[in-house]
Amino acid sequence: MNIFAELCSFSTPKNLFFNKKFPNYLAPDFNSMIVDLTNLDWTHEKIAHVLPISGASTVSEWSRGGIPNYDNGAALIELWMQLTSKTEKEIPRINRYLIA
């Protein structure tokens, strides 16, 4: 029996994707946080000056989907929480596990 025939003989449950456990932690959505800060009249330059990063180009990269390292991301989250008066539970998250 070839390998294709063996693979076809396995049966899978119809609700396979519904039984899958998704992780509880979702990554922070840094783009949404930067948009919130710009709505509060904070420019990329001002954000970069407050955070321990090299310049506004780094903040621009994060707003286009780049991911900061842990320390810079934690500093951005802390700044966002202070300026928007929101808690850790209100941090915008990216759900990369959604099945479209």
- In residues, how long is the chain? 100
How many domains, the chain?
A: 1
Helices 30-39 and 70-84 meet at what angle, rounded to 10? 40
Q: Within a domain: residue 12?
A: no
Q: Are 89 and 95 in contact (CB under 8 A)?
A: no
Distances (CA, A) of 25 to 61, 63, 75, 92: 23, 21, 19, 12
pLDDT digits (tens, 9 = 90+) for 14-60: 665 555 565 667 889 999 999 999 999 999 999 999 999 989 999 99
Is residue 18 assigned to a domain?
A: no
| 22 belongs to a structural domain | no
3-state helix, strand, coil in the chain (%, to 5): 50, 5, 45
Task: Give the residue with greater pLDDT, 15 vs 73.
Answer: 73
Domain of residue 88 covers: 27-94
Q: How far apart are CA 30 and CA 92, in angstroms?
A: 8
Flag whether the pTM goes above 0.85.
no
* Cβ burial 34-43 (10 Å sphere, 16+ → b, else e): beebeeeebe
In a domain, 47, yes or no: yes
